[in-house]
Amino acid sequence: MVVIPGYQLIEVIHEGVSTIIYRGTRLLDQKPVVIKIPTTDIPTLAEISYIKHEYLIPENLEIEGIVKPLSLETYQNGLALVLEDFGGISLKKLLEKESLDLTSFLNYAIQLTEALGHLHTHHIIHKDIKPKNIIVNHEVGIVKITDFGIATQLSRETQQISNPELLEGTLAYMSPEQTGRMNRAIDYRTDFYSLGVTFYEMLTHTLPFNSNDPLEMVYCHIAQSPVPPHQINREIPPVLSSIVMKLMAKNAEDRYQSAAGLKADLEICLSQLQTTGEIANFVPGQLDKSGQLSIPQKLYGREREVETLLAAFERVSGKKQQTTNN
């Protein structure tokens, strides 16, 4: 029986490997809350630090598009994180139940882009944007970003090469540079790639890359091009498909450089849809410009060397797959 003084727990809304999330009420003022606690009675130091970090990163941010942390409470040998409850469910659960029409998609996409832009203004990189970490109240049309457990408050950080199964983040949504195999630092644009994968899933109900082999998934993010969304779902306007593909560009320099530029394109799409009932083609990114100084890390004049490295990587991946099958 879980008991946290000052709170009444009503129901379990998610149970993961390391945490359980409850919907409940704060007894002091009957405020609806969401409470996250460790699954184990004696959590590790890393698990305690994760919950504490998830509270501290967004603690003082006044951003409408994030789920606000309310307090940290002592729970057994660890901590309980208390968050606002605005009556939402994860975007992942919503997508499992229904498809989004274009108007709903664009409204949510604009809100998410605006929230991400505010985070980047505060030099916060989320590093784990995905439908499970997005909460949506579909009845009122509000969407918010949550789970800052691996977020960083740096403008740039270096991702070390490691076992793909041990990487921070979620491999299916991870940018090429976040895999640690691109020899380049991570900056705010890694979130745009993950947002692109999220948009892709919202529009097509499938991921751009599917594999149970972590090494193969890393290779896909680095070297493979996904099928454009409009080729999977013919109802998706080609320009919207192009916006998603731009977000998922392999090199950060080829993605959107600002949330403002992305938001402008999404607002053009929404305005056209509401005015004419369709979305006409235009060139994405025309209003985009970086709000941060970023020294390009893209290799120029080394196409042959890059192709050689990718071919070697593909051979190694193939041998690993053959060994696994045998």
Q: Which residues neighbour 12 within 8 Å (Cβ) at sequence distance 6 or greater?
A: 20, 21, 22
Please count the residues of the chain.
326
Q: Which of 85, 128, 147, 191 is catalytic?
A: 128
254 included as an active-site residue = no
**HSE toward the beta carbon, residue 43, CA cutoff 13 A:** 23
Rounded (10°) angle between helices 238-247 and 189-204: 140
Rounded (10°) angle between helices 238-247 and 259-276: 170
Cα separation of the two ends of the chain:
47
Could you say which DSSP state residue 177 is in? Answer: G
DSSP SS3 for 12: strand
Q: Which residues neighbour 64 within 8 Å (Cβ) at sequence distance 6 or greater?
A: 115, 144
Distances (CA, A) of 270 to 68, 99, 112, 266, 275: 28, 18, 15, 6, 8
Q: Count the helix, strand and coil residues of the chain and give each as a percent rounded to the nearest 5.
A: 40, 20, 40
- Asked if residue 244 lies in contact with residue 232, where contact means CB atoms within 8 angstroms, the answer is no
- Asked if residue 127 lies in contact with residue 168, where contact means CB atoms within 8 angstroms, the answer is yes
For the annotated catalytic residues, the residue numbers are 128
